[in-house]
């Protein structure tokens, strides 16, 4: 048995946050909303871009993930940083990681998100 890949990541949002998720993950980050299977909860939303699949689930007892986070690989970190900051999402650097340039921000719900680019 071997783990051969990652199918998707899921992050939580509070009830009725789907429109703000669509603005951040869809419009600001350029991910495409994907259809959810009919047998799953009608709340939440799914996004895709390339091989990345991000599921947004509604949690009635939502608490933002301030430490745990997805790290999304991008091809133009500087432009994304400008776009996020212009959209009202401050970014911050952290300790360097060899082979990468990177920064963090928080989504509209307070979830920590990391963006990385190969150096």
CATH code of residue 57 = 3.10.180.10
Q: Is residue 101 part of a domain?
A: yes
Q: Is residue 105 part of a domain?
A: yes
Query: Mean pLDDT throughout 76-93?
Result: 97
Q: Is residue 1 part of a domain?
A: no
Residue 47 lies in domain: 9-118
pLDDT in tens, 87-100: 999 999 999 999 99
Q: Is residue 41 part of a domain?
A: yes
Q: What is the mean pLDDT of the chain?
A: 96
Whether pLDDT at 114 is above 90: yes
Whether pLDDT at 41 is above 90: no
Whole-angstrom Cα distance, residue 84 to residue 69? 17
Per the CB < 8 A criterion, the answer to whether 104 and 61 are in contact is no
């Amino acid at each position: 048995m071997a783990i051969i890949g990652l199918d998707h990541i899921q992050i939580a949002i509070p009830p009725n946050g789907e429109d703000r998720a669509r603005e951040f993950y869809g419009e600001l980050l350029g991910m495409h909303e994907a259809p959810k299977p009919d047998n799953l909860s009608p709340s939440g939303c799914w996004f895709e871009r390339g091989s990345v699949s991000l599921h947004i689930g509604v949690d009635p007892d939502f608490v933002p993930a301030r430490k745990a986070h997805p790290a999304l690989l991008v091809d133009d970190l500087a432009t994304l940083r400008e776009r996020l900051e212009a959209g009202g999402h401050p970014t911050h650097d952290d300790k360097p990681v060899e082979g990468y340039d990177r920064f963090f921000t928080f989504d509209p719900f307070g979830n920590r998100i990391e963006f990385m680019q190969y150096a």
